[in-house]
Structure 1
Amino acid sequence: MYSTTTHSFSNAEYQYNQPWRKLLWVKQNYPDNYVDNTFLEELQKNVNVRTYDYWTMVYESGVITQHISSVVIFIAIFIDLQLHSLSATHLIWTSSLFAVTGYMFWDLIMLKTAKNYELSRKHVIKSTIIFFSTLLGLSPILKTLTSQTSDDTIWALTVCCFLANVLFHDYVAQSRIRVKIPGSLSTNAAIFASVLLASRLDTNLDVFSLLSFAVEWFALFPIFRRHLQDLSPKMQIMMTVSLLLLCVLLFIHISKAVVFIYMLGFCFLTFVCPYWLIFIQKYKNEIHGPWDEARPRLQRAKRNLYRKRAT
């Protein structure tokens, strides 16, 4: 960065020199740190500062709280399975019912947009049958996968995996056009944590129920949430409140302290963090000027490339 401090030189010293130019590759009869009076004319402050609306930020924070709530719900279901408060059969039927309902919701949307709709439906049904059949066969192996590992190690690894799931989850992609599994690193971390927890269950059916629910919950449910977010803001708010109530309902008989901490975290992320972000915006001082390096606009280049391919 050039120094903005101008040096006073006598007119007689520079009256025979060429005018100063902002070029590093040209040798000029001026000191390296010399700038003229026009150097700061292109100075810009806070060009990219975005003005936030509080309630809009509160609404958009639901994407984060929904995902955190889904992790808390999954942990509560694991504890219920381990304590035999929830049977594996009930979990399988309930999760399958919600998965079929979500697929029917997606099916109605794809009926209007997809060209190879019938082929896509057959592929999904075939892949589902093969996947869950394979998972059922691998349940005895997964049950004994960490039998020689202590419980403390399992709990520590599970916490790390769920933290990675929350941190690396794709909170930005919200378009219904993207139906791919979001955030491969985040999804893999959640599935690995599910395998670790499932290895601490008693029966093979418990292992299969938890892992099948984990696939539906961490791989398919985020796609369903994105569809709801695109449909209506009210659906987004209803989903956030529903997951909040479900967390409280599932954890209230396990630990009231966890429910209290969860409610504090939910209120902090939903109501305090947006206000905090708006408050610190007035202290932002971003400076742009002729000394900045050129920034490639990759998003615009990608759009132009996609348009050329489409045409």
Structure 2
Amino acid sequence: MRREVPKSSLFDDLRRARRRSRSMRSSADAGVSGRPHRVLYDAHERERPDNQTDAETFLKRLTLNARVRERAYVSSAIAAWTISQQCAMVVVHAGLHAALVDGSAEARGRIRLELGALAVGGVAWALGGSNGGRGLGGLVKRSLRSLRLFALVSCGLAALTPLCQTMTAAVSDDTAAVCSALSLGLYVLAYDYAFANLETKQLASSFSLGAAMFATMLMASRLDDRPSVFADALLALECYVLAPYVWRAVRVRSTALHLIVVFTVHVWAFIIARECDPLLGWAFVAWTFLLAVLSPGLLVFLARRGKTQIAGPWDEALPKLYLFRGTERASGVPRYRHYYANKRSIE
């Protein structure tokens, strides 16, 4: 005759076996790594199941905003100024393009200034850069790269100028203007601002650069003579492709110098926009004030007032890389060989 075993005794036996296995694993891990094993339930509640909840003990270890990062207005404002700086570069390019269209700016004079700015940037990078080494060999490598970049940019744009001039001959001016404005708006929205704020090491904004180059080709194709097309395309290349590396280098050198450069770019953009239309100039000032002054303050205020993080014993365990640093298995093999997991011990 088959004897029935009560379910409660089966559950008790399984619970005891699980506790014994956990205690054995924790003692073994403590002997190997030198640190005690951390369990995810209270040791004094052994008589209760792991999912036991009641009104007395469930909310005892409730914490609010324990790991919430408080935002500072200064850091938020500096990050916002990076966004407004790219908006200012768009205004500079659009304003100088309008000056070429109405004939108020000389194309050949603009070409000389832009080539001079490109040469100055190449010399500054060759003298103050760190790629290739700090000695004479590194200086020679950077100088050769600067010369190659100068030749490729100038000669490549000069060869593509006839193609750019007739690329959109069948497109109306209104369509080209609307598509250019939308593309420049996408450039500002999709730009990799983390690169200029020193959060990443590589510029990852291929979509935004593609949108900017599409707008550049549309705008340059509406000009009449080849020098104007070359001047407009070269300015766009310097504003959208090469300028982010300049802003990052300035930010690495000094935050104060970065703020001076940002202020200078905004003043330059305001002067250009006001020459096109005084209303556009003051609209740019209002937009910059809203984006660079009011928006960071509103972000800090909302983060302090509305951010609430609830934490407690019910949270899921999240593995951290630094917890595996210096730990080994019984065979002597490291548990985790990732570079960032051992970065602190290496330093």
TM-score (norm 2): 0.72
**Deviation of the 1:39 alpha carbon:** 4.1
Contact 1:142 1:195 in 2 (8 A): yes
| SS of corresponding position for 1:74 | helix
Is the aligned partner of 1:83 residue 2:119?
no
More displaced, 158-167 or 96-105?
96-105
Tell me the distance in 1 between the aligned counterparts of 2:200 and 2:68: 29
Q: Root-mean-square deviation (CA), in Å?
A: 3.7
Using a 3 Å threshold, how does the CA distance of structure 1 residues 273 and 214 change in structure 2: closer, same or farther?
same
Instruction: Tell me the equivalent position of 1:275.
Output: 297
**Deviation of the 1:277 alpha carbon:** 1.2
Instruction: Tell me the equivalent position of 1:164.
Output: 186
Instruction: Tell me the equivalent position of 2:227.
Output: 205
Tell me the distance in 1 between the aligned counterparts of 2:106 and 2:262: 27
Give per-residue Cα distances to partners, 1:138-165, cap 9 Å, x unaligned: 2111111111112222122112211111
**Deviation of the 1:271 alpha carbon:** 1.5
- Which amino acid in 1 is paired with 2:53? V
More displaced, 144-153 or 55-64?
55-64
More displaced, 218-227 or 35-44?
35-44
Structure 1: stretches of 5+ with no match in the other structure: 1-13, 24-29
Instruction: Tell me the equivalent position of 1:304.
Output: 340
1:164-243 aligned within 5 A = 164-173=186-195, 174-175=197-198, 178=201, 181=203, 183-243=205-265
More displaced, 124-133 or 95-104?
124-133
- Which amino acid in 2 is paired with 1:285? T
- Higher normalized contact order (CA 8 Å, seq sep 6+, divided by chain length): 1
Instruction: Tell me the equivalent position of 2:53.
Output: 35
Is the aligned partner of 1:246 residue 2:265?
no
Give per-residue Cα distances to partners, 1:259-283, cap 9 Å, x unaligned: 1111111111122112111211221
**Deviation of the 1:87 alpha carbon:** 1.5
More displaced, 200-209 or 111-120?
111-120
**Deviation of the 1:299 alpha carbon:** 11
**Deviation of the 1:46 alpha carbon:** 2.2
**How many residues are matched?**
290
Is the aligned partner of 1:148 residue 2:170?
yes
| SS of corresponding position for 1:50 | coil
Tell me the distance in 2 between the aligned counterparts of 1:297 and 1:149: 56
**Deviation of the 1:290 alpha carbon:** 4.8
| Structure with greater Cα Rg | 2
Instruction: Tell me the equivalent position of 2:309.
Output: 286
Tell me the distance in 2 between the aligned counterparts of 1:305 and 1:107: 36
Tell me which of 45, 65, 74 is aligned to 2:93: 74
**Deviation of the 1:133 alpha carbon:** 1.4
Using a 3 Å threshold, how does the CA distance of structure 1 residues 78 and 169 change in structure 2: closer, same or farther?
same
Is the aligned partner of 1:58 residue 2:77?
yes
Is the aligned partner of 1:261 residue 2:283?
yes
- Which amino acid in 1 is paired with 2:161? S
Contact 1:176 1:227 in 2 (8 A): no
TM-score (norm 1): 0.79
**Deviation of the 1:42 alpha carbon:** 4.8
